[in-house]
């Protein structure tokens, strides 16, 4: 075997015996650039001023790290900046510092959650953290969960398990129910499951954005009448536009009576259910068969971080186990690539574990309560004579000047969003109830009362 004439091995892969000086230098340099970017946030604003970033492509001979660092810097300085206090557009808070470390460790270990033998300690860690979550939610000893890369995938894991459990995998008429304010990704889940629009039924919501129980009962009766079997009802704990919560206890009673799988999409609000924060209707989540919790959306665990908790781990085993003929079967411990849709999977649980360990229950509650406080402050001080507001008990609020038609709302929100952006406030512009709204998501720990006062001045 000849030595590679172009590269010193040490700059390609970590050395198994040397000092790893090159890696240390790269990490050091990268950390400095990132920290400077964080510190520059205030003057840069939520979206980059410098749009000169050019996407380069691989060339024949590769490039020095000096060249790459110039490109890395340009990439960083052309990125959306969640750390800026005016970043209020989406459910994308600033990253917890300890979580950044978790991502670095996961990348360096390069373990694979596919199989126990490829990630022994991390497989154990993921099982332990999921069990901890499920106990906190009030599930029993058979419960547990599986991590996945995002809320959509966790919900999809649940729906696939629900349909399998109901024995309706080959029934083309089987349906599942969501509220009309549930997340748009359920349509994607429907398609992935080989189903069509008719297999996804939307239940009306009431004035608070919660699933209307009368309409739910009517739909169930209609399905029964025409022989359509329901494999799941999905309750949303924290809707995307206004943070509304479906009536979980009432829905769970209906599910129990009719033997239907209750899934809770707690992508936004599920994390509140492990705390003592008093929010109506979230202490009954353990009546569900499954719940998605997505700490990337509010706690600041870096993307992606999502877990699906189930009341009985056999649901996942029975649905996803195939056998992995190329992986050793020495251990009794299940391969975690066989408990969900994803096979190979990064050790995303490390950053969640570190974040939870670092914050503790008090820290978690502080972050969550501060988000609610910011939303309350904005809601209590926005001009309600001028604006129509949609909000809920969490940290999201959408608003629009009263009496606007769709066309006017389109123009107003576009202009307002642009003028706010010039003052370094980034809000989003969702379509809701057939009109455009402005939405503020107040999960940004850097957003102070003074920042909200400034925003209020521009709105009121
Ligand atoms: C309530 C809800 N569910 C599911 C999702 C999808 O999550 P993800 O984008 O992580 O796949 C979102 C995204 O914002 C959401 O708000």
Range list of β-strands (E), 158-289: 175-179, 200-203, 230-236, 261-266
Q: Is 154 in the pocket of ligand 1 (CB under 6 A)?
A: no
pLDDT at 352 over 90: yes
Percent of the residues in the chain that have a pLDDT greater than 90, as a whole number: 93
Q: If residue 438 lies in a helix (H) or strand (E), which one and from where to where? A: strand 438-441
Condensed to tens digits (0 to 9), the pLDDT of residues 263-291 reads 999 999 999 999 999 999 999 999 999 99
Q: If residue 319 lies in a helix (H) or strand (E), which one and from where to where? A: helix 313-320
Q: Is 409 in the pocket of ligand 1 (CB under 6 A)?
A: no
Q: If residue 369 lies in a helix (H) or strand (E), which one and from where to where? A: helix 349-381
Counting from 1 in the atom list of ligand 1, the atom nearest the Cα of 296 is 10
Q: Considering only the C-alpha atoms of the chain, give the largest distance between any 2 of them, rounded to a whole number of Å.
A: 79
Lowest mean pLDDT across 60-64, 247-251, 298-302? 60-64
Q: What is the spatial distance between Cα 115 and Cα 103, in angstroms, rounded to a whole number? A: 19
**Does this model's pTM top 0.95?**
yes
Cα 280 to middle of ligand 1, angstroms? 22
Residue with tokens 């608003």: 399
For 258, the token pair is 């009719």
pLDDT of residue 213: 98
In 59-194, alpha helices (H): 65-76, 97-109, 120-137, 151-165, 185-192
pLDDT at 258 over 60: yes
Condensed to tens digits (0 to 9), the pLDDT of residues 140-192 reads 999 999 999 999 999 999 999 999 999 999 999 999 999 999 999 999 999 99
For 51, the token pair is 């749009």
Three-state DSSP state, 415: helix
pLDDT at 3 over 90: no
**Cβ proximity of 394 and 373 under 8 Å:** no
The CA–CA distances, whole Å, from 206 to 7, 66, 181, 213 equal 64, 58, 10, 9
Nearest CA to ligand 1 atom 8: 151
Q: What is the spatial distance between Cα 99 and Cα 401, in angstroms, rounded to a whole number? A: 39
Q: What is the spatial distance between Cα 323 and Cα 439, in angstroms, rounded to a whole number? A: 46
Q: What is the spatial distance between Cα 174 and Cα 231, in angstroms, rounded to a whole number? A: 7
How many residues appear in the chain? 460
Nearest CA to ligand 1 atom 16: 240
Beta bridge partners of 307: 147, 293
- Tell me the best of 297, 306, 340 to mutate to test the pocket of ligand 1, counting ligand atoms within 8 Å of each CB and taking the most: 297
Q: What is the spatial distance between Cα 440 and Cα 241, in angstroms, rounded to a whole number? A: 9
pLDDT of residue 50: 63
Percent of the residues in the chain that have a pLDDT greater than 70, as a whole number: 97
Condensed to tens digits (0 to 9), the pLDDT of residues 361-372 reads 999 999 999 999
Q: What is the spatial distance between Cα 18 and Cα 143, in angstroms, rounded to a whole number? A: 45
Q: If residue 391 lies in a helix (H) or strand (E), which one and from where to where? A: strand 387-391
Q: Is 151 in the pocket of ligand 1 (CB under 6 A)?
A: yes
Q: What is the spatial distance between Cα 337 and Cα 344, in angstroms, rounded to a whole number? A: 7
pLDDT of residue 8: 55
Q: What is the spatial distance between Cα 347 and Cα 212, in angstroms, rounded to a whole number? A: 39
pLDDT of residue 48: 79
Q: Is 428 in the pocket of ligand 1 (CB under 6 A)?
A: no
Q: Say which residue, 103 or 10, is predicted with more confidence.
A: 103
């Amino acid at each position: 075997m000849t030595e590679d004439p172009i590269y010193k091995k040490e700059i390609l892969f970590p050395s198994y015996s040397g000092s790893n000086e090159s890696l240390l230098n790269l990490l050091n340099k990268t950390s400095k650039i990132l920290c400077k970017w964080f510190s520059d946030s205030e003057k840069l604003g939520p979206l980059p001023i410098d749009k000169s970033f050019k996407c380069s492509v691989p060339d024949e001979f590769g490039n020095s790290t000096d060249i790459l660092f110039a490109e890395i810097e340009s990439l960083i300085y052309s990125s959306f900046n969640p750390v800026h206090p005016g970043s209020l557009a989406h459910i994308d808070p600033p990253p917890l510092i300890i979580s950044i470390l978790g991502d670095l460790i996961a990348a360096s270990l390069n373990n694979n959650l596919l199989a126990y033998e490829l990630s022994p300690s991390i497989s154990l860690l993921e099982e332990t953290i999921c069990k901890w979550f499920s106990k906190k939610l009030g599930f029993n000893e058979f419960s547990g969960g599986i991590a996945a890369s995002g809320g959509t995938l966790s919900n999809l894991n649940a729906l696939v398990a629900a349909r399998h459990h109901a024995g309706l995998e080959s029934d083309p008429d089987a349906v599942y129910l969501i509220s009309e304010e549930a997340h748009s990704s359920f349509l994607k889940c429907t398609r992935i499951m080989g189903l069509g629009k008719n297999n996804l039924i939307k239940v009306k919501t009431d004035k608070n954005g919660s699933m209307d129980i009368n309409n739910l009962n009517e739909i169930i009766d209609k399905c029964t009448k025409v022989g359509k079997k329901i494999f799941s009802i999905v309750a949303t704990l924290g809707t995307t536009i206004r943070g509304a919560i479906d009536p979980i206890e009432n829905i769970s009673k209906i599910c129990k009576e009719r033997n239907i799988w209750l899934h809770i999409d707690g992508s936004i609000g599920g994390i509140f259910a492990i705390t003592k924060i008093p929010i109506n209707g979230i202490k009954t989540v353990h009546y569900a068969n499954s719940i998605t919790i997505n700490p990337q959306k509010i706690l600041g665990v870096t993307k992606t971080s999502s877990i699906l908790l189930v009341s009985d781990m056999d649901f996942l085993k029975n649905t996803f186990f195939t056998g992995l003929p190329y992986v050793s079967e020495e251990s009794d411990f299940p391969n975690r690539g066989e408990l969900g849709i994803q096979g190979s999977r990064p050790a995303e649980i490390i950053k969640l574990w570190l974040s939870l360990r670092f914050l503790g229950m008090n820290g978690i509650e502080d972050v969550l309560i501060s988000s609610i406080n910011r939303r309350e402050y904005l809601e209590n001080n926005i001009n309600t004579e001028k604006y129509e507001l949609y909000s809920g008990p969490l940290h999201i609020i959408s608003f629009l000047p009263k009496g606007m038609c769709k066309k006017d709302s389109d123009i107003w929100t576009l202009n307002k969003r642009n003028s706010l952006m010039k003052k370094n406030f980034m809000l989003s512009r969702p379509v809701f109830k057939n009109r455009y709204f402005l939405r503020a998501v107040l999960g940004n720990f850097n957003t102070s009362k003074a920042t909200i006062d400034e925003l209020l001045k521009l709105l009121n």
